[in-house]
Amino acid sequence: MSESRKLTRRQVLEGTAAAGALGLLGNVEWIGQAWSAADKVKMGFIFVGPRDDYGYNQAHFEGKAAVAKLDWVKAFDEEKVPETIEVQKTMESMVKLDGAQVLFPTSFGYFDPHIIKVAPQFPNIQFLHCGGLYQEGKHPKNVGSYFGFIDESQYIAGIVAGGMSKSGKLGFVAAKPIPQVLRNINNYTLGARSIRPNCTTNVIFTGDWSLPVREAEATNSLVDQGIDVITCHVDSPKVVITTAEKRGIYCTGYHCNQSKLAPKGYLTGAEWNWAKVYMDYAEMIRKGQTVPHLVRGGLKEGIVKVSDYNQVVTDAVRKQADAAKDKFMGGGMVVYKGPIKDNTGRVVIAAGKEHVQTDIWLESMDWLVEGVIGSTKS
């Protein structure tokens, strides 16, 4: 068992338990195999934050809860696992102790180096990472990645925001300038500008995924500058949403539905629908099908959704938003269609050129579209 040179505490406990129960000296690998022979599909989920944060982790947890309801699935999870050697230990113990056949380490930072290091040790286990970093040939074969085009929902939310704003100034509280975040900011802005060309989005980067005080400060500063619709891309939008409601402006949500937190101002929101993805994976594994390395999808595939509109959203705005949604559902929507300039005036997509949603080029986005006030430089 070359993979268990260093024993973790859980492994030792597990070994002792096995010895006690079976009268054998614990051969860890043996237990793993015995368990995988059982008929239930065993799925392990790892979250970087708390399960119930009204945000990213809750969205994944809701997906886990949905598959756990199936009687042929056994799902387990561990929350608040840092993006350090800790996650490697968690993955190892989920495979060895819980007999997981497939692991879903859901945080971006789990991939490199942690999954890449652990996956080759367990060639029969699938490591499916939420994010989008898998590269053929470069990464272990039993690794895959899945992600939703939540920026499609952000585009719709942007339309609603642009339509409902009085000042034409939108605000965006973002954690870090990584491609996924920039794509959301750009789609939000492009959505708003598709119906109101002079709309602007003022971005504040807080520098990390969960900084409640700074998120509240950012929201207050944006409101002071006259923005009247705000959204965010941080781990838990709770602070931004409640602060916006207190200041009496509109907001649009992210990750989950936060309408309960801001009944007056919550216009709509971009939500994940991980239940769909996890159900599909479970089905594939049950049937013994090969799991694809890359799973991607947006509104059409049902991986992301848009929160129900608030009653204050006017009919005209609803109509415009629904029209765009229908276009996405029909598969005919291309957001990144030239000519598109960035906010420094450089042409990033030439006239006549299009980048469809699945274009890998979009996953290395490092620019902000015209109309965004902000910079990707730290």
Partner 1 sequence: MEVGWWGVLIAVLGGAIRIGTPFLFVSLGECLTEKSGRINLGLEGTLVMGAMTGYAISLHSGSPWLGVLCAGLAGMVLGALHSWICSFQRVNDIAVGIAMMLFGTGLAFFLGKPYIQPSAPRLPSIDLGGWSDIPQLQAALQINALFLVGIVVAVVLGWMLKNTAWGLKVRVVGESADAARALGLPVDRIRIMSTAMGGFLAGIGGSYLSLYYPFNWSEGLSSGQGLMAVALVIFARWQPIGCLWVSLLWGGAAALGPSLQSVGVTGGYYIFNAIPYIMTLAMMIITCSPKRTLVGVPRELTMTR
Binding site for partner 1 (CB under 8 A): 49-50, 52-54, 80, 202-207, 210-218, 220-226, 235-236, 238-239, 242-243, 246-247, 260-261, 373-375, 377-378
Min separation Cβ 62 and partner 1, Å: 12
Nearest to 358, CA basis, from 186, 191, 183: 183
Question: Which residues, at least 6 apart from 339, have a Cβ–Cβ distance to it below 8 Å?
Answer: 347, 349, 350, 351
CA distance 19 to 303: 44
> 54 vs 272, which CB is nearer to partner 1?
54
Min separation Cβ 115 and partner 1, Å: 24
**Amino acid, res. 320:** Q
**Apex 55 CA angle, 142 and 327, nearest 5:** 80
Min separation Cβ 244 and partner 1, Å: 12
Min separation Cβ 27 and partner 1, Å: 35
> 119 vs 368, which CB is nearer to partner 1?
368
Min separation Cβ 227 and partner 1, Å: 8
Min separation Cβ 183 and partner 1, Å: 18
| Tokens linked to 182 | 């920039």
Q: Identify whether the C-beta of residue 266 lies closer than 8 Å to the C-beta of residue 161.
A: no
> 37 vs 213, which CB is nearer to partner 1?
213
The helix/strand/coil state of 123 is coil
Q: Identify whether the C-beta of residue 363 lies closer than 8 Å to the C-beta of residue 184.
A: no
Residue 70 Cα distances to 41, 58, 59, 94, 162, angstroms: 10, 19, 18, 20, 41
129 backbone dihedrals φ, ψ, rounded to 5°: -105, 135
Residue 77 Cα distances to 48, 250, 308, angstroms: 11, 35, 29
> 142 vs 242, which CB is nearer to partner 1?
242
> 236 vs 320, which CB is nearer to partner 1?
236
> 154 vs 236, which CB is nearer to partner 1?
236
> 233 vs 325, which CB is nearer to partner 1?
233
Nearest to 135, CA basis, from 293, 289, 29, 26: 293
The helix/strand/coil state of 219 is helix
Min separation Cβ 170 and partner 1, Å: 12
